[in-house]
A and B are shown apart, each in its own frame.
Chain A
Amino acid sequence: MNEIPLTHILFVSTALFFIGMYGLFTRRNIITMLMSIELMLNSVNINFVAFNKYLFPDKLDGLFFSLFIITIAAAEAAVAIAIIINLYRSHQSIDVDDATEMKF
């Protein structure tokens, strides 16, 4: 079976990254926004793994980095969810546009 070139993978990851970004910009539901961010992070993971596998197979920096990213992302998500819950308590909504009290 023939090798998939790195560029393809990078293309996927980039696409994923911008999809995530688009989601972040457009979705009003904070949870969804969080998920979009996760998408972005995952695209980064793909990058790391791909780079590691294709360019520098002798060392494992990339893999480790992606592992750490996953972990951190989890932690981030946990805190974020907690905050969102609290936001819901105070605002009775998790629509991002309802939380625009502070401006200008």
Chain B
Amino acid sequence: MSSTIFILLRQELLLSLLIFLLLFIKIGKERSNESILNIINVLLFINLAAGLFGSSEGGAFNGMFTSNAFIVLEKNILNLAMLLISMQSYAWLKNHKQLAEFYLLLFTSLLGMFFMISSGNLLMFYLGLEMSTIPLAAAANFDLAKRKSSEAAMKLILSSAFSSGILLMGISFLYGTSGTLSFDILTAHISNNPMQLFGFILLVSGFAFKISAVPFHLWTADVYEGSPVAVTAFLSVVSKAAVLFTFTSILYKVFTPIATLWYSVLVVLSIATILIGNLFALRQDNFKRFLAFSSIAQVGFILIGISGSSQAGSASLVYFVLIYVFSNLAAFGVVSVVSALAGKENISDFKGFYKTNPFLSWVLTIALFSLAGVPPTAGFFGKLFLMMAGAAKDNYGLIIFASLNMVVSFYYYLKVVKAIFMEENETPIQKLSIPKITQLAMYICIAGIIITGLASLVYDYIYSLSIGI
């Protein structure tokens, strides 16, 4: 048992340390929320920083846990997202009694995701998955008083339990046909065996549920709408990102023999997802719900990228997720500030928002443009690279479909911008005083949105790490 394992697992260990620290804070003497929040943010920053140093290649627990630079990068992205979320929910948590629990839940879930991402074994993967899901169900219910919150939690826990049931069925079939749970050995046993394929289908459905691809997406909107903004942000960015990473790596690593099969699955899923996501997003007025459906549509685009099944494919996926972290969290940041300080969550409330809150308006606008994929924001590059990766398969029907759907998505993003800038409102949201730290987070997001796209070295770095089939 050498010390390399500590370096290999440093992110997980740090996170667990954080969790224990939180427990101590909880049982320790009463502190003011502000101080706790500041401590946590500092710790999170350290956590993020720690990930950046020392790359690590290799496995532990005989292959159950694997790690490499790419995986570390993915985890760093998740850490970054976590940090930003916590900075943005400052205003909401400042006077919330159970903030320690909140962080406990999120950190546990994050830890689960880490294990899931670097799992080398179906068992480990399953553990990680559940570890990341179950705390989120609790977190979704964090506004104990709110009816919607508990409804959301109920929906989440039930459907996720169902999906994990399905997933497990799939895993059991895979196990039954191959007799192993570790990915490396499994790859060798993948064939056209129908039972195995059915198992694969069930597994994919489980994944599709987590990344909320149509028609497995229906829980998404309700849960997003019901749960507190911070949790919604976490769900829509972090958990989705984590599952996507795992999904891609499993597809690319394990199921390479049936690549042609799952390519068509991805195409079908992406078409359905983009279409339904867009069509539903058109009509939404609740901002969180709107972002939920828009993020569903985004997932559709991501699936196109993954379907490229090349180095560019996985690179563009991670790249897009990074951009998505910045853009989506910028949007959620504004929404969370508004809902925490003004208690408004509807798009129609944002009419004339620019008159009272120019800064927030610009942040939101830039974020939305990035989500819509308008240059010079990074979203433009992200989406284009995803589609380019997909186009490598010479499936231009898909590209045409996707690019036309981009136009539809423009419509609803611009509708929000329209409300912010152009429409009048007799009762506009009053001038909000944003916490410094949240402001900082927003600045980081904006900087990220601008730089990640224009500075090509980000993409090149990701590309250099990523691996295709």
From the candidates B137, B168, B181, name the one contacting A83 in the complex (CB within 8 A): B137
B190 on the interface (CB 8 Å rule)?
A: no
Q: How many residues of A contact B (CB 8 A)?
A: 44
How far, in Å, is B124 (CB) from chain A's closest CB? Answer: 10
CB–CB B175/A72 < 8 A: no
How does the 8 Å CB contact mask read for A40-66 relative to B, with 1 for contact and 0 for none? 110110011001000110010110110
CB–CB A44/B138 < 8 A: no
How far, in Å, is A22 (CB) from chain B's closest CB? Answer: 12
B345 on the interface (CB 8 Å rule)?
A: no
How far, in Å, is A31 (CB) from chain B's closest CB? Answer: 11
A33 to B157, CA, bound (A): 11
How far, in Å, is B391 (CB) from chain A's closest CB? Answer: 34
A33 to B147, CA, bound (A): 20
How far, in Å, is A13 (CB) from chain B's closest CB? Answer: 8
CB–CB A101/B176 < 8 A: no
At the interface with chain A, which of B219-227, B327-335, B366-374, B425-433?
A: B219-227
A82 on the interface (CB 8 Å rule)?
A: yes
Q: Which of A18-52 contact B (CB under 8 A)?
A: 20-21, 24, 30, 33-34, 37, 40-41, 43-44, 47-48, 51
Contacts of B123 in A (CB 8 A): 61, 64-65, 68
CB–CB A51/B169 < 8 A: no
At the interface with chain A, which of B126-134, B382-390, B412-420?
A: B126-134
At the interface with chain A, which of B158-166, B313-321, B394-402?
A: B158-166
A91 to B122, CA, bound (A): 39
CB–CB B158/A80 < 8 A: yes
CB–CB B154/A83 < 8 A: yes
How far, in Å, is B293 (CB) from chain A's closest CB? Answer: 11
Take A37-B162, A44-B168, A101-B151 as given contacts and tell me if A82 and B138 are in contact as well, using a CB distance cutoff of 8 Å: yes
Nearest CB to that of A61 among chain B residues? Answer: B181
Nearest CB to that of B133 among chain A residues? Answer: A76
From the candidates A34, A41, A72, A86, name the one contacting B158 in the complex (CB within 8 A): A34
A99 to B158, CA, bound (A): 13
Contacts of A8 in B (CB 8 A): none
CB–CB A51/B172 < 8 A: yes
B152 on the interface (CB 8 Å rule)?
A: yes
From the candidates B144, B162, B165, name the one contacting A44 in the complex (CB within 8 A): B165
How does the 8 Å CB contact mask read for A76-104 relative to B, with 1 for contact and 0 for none? 10011011101101110000100111111
CB–CB A76/B130 < 8 A: yes
Contacts of B221 in A (CB 8 A): 102
How far, in Å, is A60 (CB) from chain B's closest CB? Answer: 11
CB–CB B138/A33 < 8 A: no
B148 on the interface (CB 8 Å rule)?
A: yes
A75 on the interface (CB 8 Å rule)?
A: yes
From the candidates B141, B157, B173, B222, name the one contacting A102 in the complex (CB within 8 A): B222
Contacts of A100 in B (CB 8 A): 151
B238 on the interface (CB 8 Å rule)?
A: no
Take A37-B158, A83-B137 as given contacts and tell me if A48 and B127 are in contact as well, using a CB distance cutoff of 8 Å: no
Contacts of A103 in B (CB 8 A): 222
A90 to B134, CA, bound (A): 21
Nearest CB to that of A73 among chain B residues? Answer: B161
From the candidates A55, A99, A104, name the one contacting B179 in the complex (CB within 8 A): A55
CB–CB B150/A83 < 8 A: yes
Nearest CB to that of B155 among chain A residues? Answer: A99
Nearest CB to that of A6 among chain B residues? Answer: B176
A21 to B161, CA, bound (A): 11
A91 to B154, CA, bound (A): 12
B180 on the interface (CB 8 Å rule)?
A: yes
| 7 tightest Cβ-Cβ pairs between the two chains A and B | A40-B165, A47-B172, A51-B176, A44-B168, A56-B179, A102-B222, A99-B151
25 interchain pairs (CB within 8 A)?
A30-B154, A33-B158, A37-B161, A41-B168, A48-B172, A48-B175, A65-B122, A65-B172, A68-B123, A68-B126, A72-B126, A76-B161, A79-B134, A80-B161, A82-B138, A82-B141, A89-B144, A90-B147, A91-B147, A99-B150, A101-B147, A101-B151, A102-B148, A102-B221, A102-B226
Interface residues of B (CB under 8 A from A): 122-123, 126-127, 130, 134-135, 137-138, 141, 144-148, 150-155, 157-158, 161-162, 164-166, 168-169, 171-173, 175-176, 179-181, 221-222, 225-226, 283, 289
Interface residues of A (CB under 8 A from B): 17, 20-21, 24, 30, 33-34, 37, 40-41, 43-44, 47-48, 51, 55-56, 59, 61-62, 64-65, 68-69, 72, 75-76, 79-80, 82-84, 86-87, 89-91, 96, 99-104
